[in-house]
Amino acid sequence: MEKAEIFESMKKSIMEGNKAEAERLAQLSLDRGIDPKESISHGFTPGIQQVGQLWEEGEYFLPELVVSAETMKAAMKVLEKSLQESARYASIGKMVIGTVQGDIHDIGKSLVASIFSANGFEVVDLGMDVPIETFVHRAQEEKAQVIGMSALLTTTMVNQKKVIELLEQKGIRKNFKVIVGGAPISREWMQRIGADDASLDAFEAVAKVKQLLAREVLR
């Protein structure tokens, strides 16, 4: 099987919600020495994006969406181990991350958490539907440098703003770098809510946070 064929089959496995096949392909890609980042970007993610598209068009219904999401998670789990193995031992920084209150979309957030971890960050994953106070409380408790918030719904993205407002109210906003992400998030939104950066891509998010922390050191 050629690399392009593997990616195409990965996409298909997500669209069909074929968990066993997705896991097999994830393992096959690792055995072939394919970079897991490539499998995520060119194989599995286009699959879940296509599912979203079909759902929007009324071709897919909620059960299909759920099965595809579970399939995606299963594939990520196989790839995650290899991503973790490439992690550096010295911690670059500590991050708390979660999907905001009211939002249970956690595939992107978990992917972002894995990629940060694979890049030497100590990551505390707060999960999904994370209350506003929990982000703030856990960031303080963990002495994190970075707070990462994911939101996939236009109705829940406002909770990213609320977390920042609570940090400001408590007078601790400057203690943290805040990065926001998720499909509906834009640069304009980031600026409006006073986050430090925004990203629509897990790998880019790591680069951006590294830059933010480096700038802090140079100050």
The site for ligand B1M (CB under 6 A) is made up of: 45, 48-49, 51-52, 55-56, 62, 65-66, 69, 97, 102-109, 111-112, 148-150, 152-155, 179-184, 199-202, 205
Question: Which is nearer to ligand B1M, 1 or 165 (by Cβ)?
Answer: 165
Question: Which is nearer to ligand B1M, 42 or 105 (by Cβ)?
Answer: 105
Q: Taking the complex as a whole, how short is the minimal distance between the CB of residue 73 and ligand B1M, in angstroms? A: 7
Q: Taking the complex as a whole, how short is the minimal distance between the CB of residue 19 and ligand B1M, in angstroms? A: 14
Q: In which residue are the tokens 């219904």 written?
A: 61
Encoded tokens for 216: 């802090």
Q: How far apart are CA 218 and CA 174, in angstroms?
A: 16
Question: Which is nearer to ligand B1M, 93 or 148 (by Cβ)?
Answer: 148
Q: Taking the complex as a whole, how short is the minimal distance between the CB of residue 85 and ligand B1M, in angstroms? A: 20
Question: Bridge partners of 125?
Answer: 97
DSSP string, 132-144: HHHHHHHHHHTT-
Encoded tokens for 64: 């299909």
Question: Which is nearer to ligand B1M, 34 or 106 (by Cβ)?
Answer: 106
Give the helix/strand (H/E) hosting 6: helix 3-16
Q: Taking the complex as a whole, how short is the minimal distance between the CB of residue 178 and ligand B1M, in angstroms? A: 9
Q: Taking the complex as a whole, how short is the minimal distance between the CB of residue 32 and ligand B1M, in angstroms? A: 22
Q: How far apart are CA 143 and CA 122, in angstroms?
A: 11
For Cα atoms 83, 84, 90, give the angle at the middle one, nearest 5 degrees. Answer: 125
Question: Which is nearer to ligand B1M, 104 or 214 (by Cβ)?
Answer: 104
- Nearest of 201, 76, 111, 137 to residue 179 by alpha carbon: 201
Question: Which is nearer to ligand B1M, 111 or 193 (by Cβ)?
Answer: 111
Q: Taking the complex as a whole, how short is the minimal distance between the CB of residue 27 and ligand B1M, in angstroms? A: 20
Q: How far apart are CA 144 and CA 146, in angstroms?
A: 6
Pairing of strands 177-181, 146-150: parallel
